[in-house]
């Protein structure tokens, strides 16, 4: 069983070499909109690009409610140097009785290929396995989302299955497959120990 009330009593701030992951706030409306209005970023997100800044304000309010209700936690991914919002990521669909959650994320297109999302995911997963005490984490992606696949595999996820035509893609206007990834806390901890021993 997850003790979300304890682990999420306050919004956790996570820090890495290049990033600070913090709570999203309404002041993030415009930078969020700039990213979420980009068709490249939203291509595999499951929704159409945003059309107005009010949509990003609504999303920020939804993220705030999710955290307050302990049904999800999503961090603003910002650059340590100057605090620029460049994306977000976090957990949702908590299955408390199974100590499991799903992970999701997005990143501004001009930061792709720089290892930013891998760095952010490492911090998010560390919090998930060490503080939330998750047993496992899942991720579901479009089969053609190669960038997301690479990021997941770099932090230890393994493909566990393929769901055929289970998802209606509103961009393609057709049913598409979903690639199912999973990561066990035991495997994540073993990988971290290996890094330390090889370091």
How many angstroms separate the CA atoms of 112 and 126, rounded?
A: 22
E-assigned strand segments in 112-173: 136-141, 158-169
* pLDDT tens readout for residues 41-86: 999 988 899 999 999 999 999 999 999 999 999 999 999 998 989 9
pLDDT at 171: 87
- The Cα diameter of the chain in Å comes to 49
Query: How large is the average pLDDT for residues 13-35?
Result: 97
DSSP-based helix, strand, coil % in the chain, nearest 5: 40, 30, 30
How many angstroms separate the CA atoms of 34 and 56, rounded?
A: 9
Which sequence spans correspond to the domains of the chain?
4-198
Q: pLDDT-based confidence at 199, cuts 50/70/90? A: low
* pLDDT tens readout for residues 78-92: 999 989 899 999 999
Query: How large is the average pLDDT for residues 159-169?
Result: 96
Considering only CA atoms, which of 103, 72, 80, 76 is closest in space to residue 88?
Answer: 76
**Percent of the chain at pLDDT above 70?**
99
Side-chain-side CA neighbours of 51 within 13 Å: the count stands at 2
pLDDT at 67: 98
* Residue 148 reports pLDDT greater than 80: yes
DSSP state of 130: I
pLDDT at 120: 98
* Residue 196 reports pLDDT greater than 90: no
pLDDT at 194: 86
Tell the residue number behind the tokens 């891998």, with chain if given: 118
Task: Tell me the Cα Rg of the chain.
Answer: 16
pLDDT at 46: 85
Considering only CA atoms, which of 108, 138, 111, 127 is closest in space to residue 33?
Answer: 108
How many angstroms separate the CA atoms of 183 and 192, rounded?
A: 13
Mean pLDDT of the chain: 95
Q: pLDDT-based confidence at 108, cuts 50/70/90? A: very high
How many angstroms separate the CA atoms of 163 and 186, rounded?
A: 25
CATH number attached to the domain at 4-198: 3.40.630.30
């Amino acid at each position: 069983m997850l003790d979300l009330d304890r682990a999420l009593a306050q919004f956790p701030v996570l820090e890495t070499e290049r990033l600070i992951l913090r709570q999203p706030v309404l002041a993030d409306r415009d930078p969020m909109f700039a990213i979420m209005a980009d068709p490249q970023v939203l291509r595999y997100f499951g929704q159409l690009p945003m059309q107005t800044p009010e949509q990003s304000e609504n999303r920020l309010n939804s993220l705030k409610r999710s955290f307050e209700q302990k049904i999800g936690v999503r961090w603003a991914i910002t650059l340590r140097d100057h605090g620029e919002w460049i994306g977000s990521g976090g957990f949702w669909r908590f299955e408390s009785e199974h100590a499991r959650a799903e992970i999701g994320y997005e990143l501004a297109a001009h930061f792709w290929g720089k290892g930013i999302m891998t760095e952010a995911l490492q911090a998010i997963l560390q919090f998930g396995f060490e503080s939330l005490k998750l047993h496992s984490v899942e991720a579901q992606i479009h089969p053609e989302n190669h960038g997301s696949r690479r990021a997941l595999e770099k932090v230890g996820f393994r493909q566990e299955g393929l769901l055929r035509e289970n998802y209606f893609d509103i961009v393609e206007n057709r049913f598409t497959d979903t690639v199912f990834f999973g990561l066990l806390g035991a495997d994540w901890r073993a990988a971290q120990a290996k890094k330390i021993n090889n370091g």
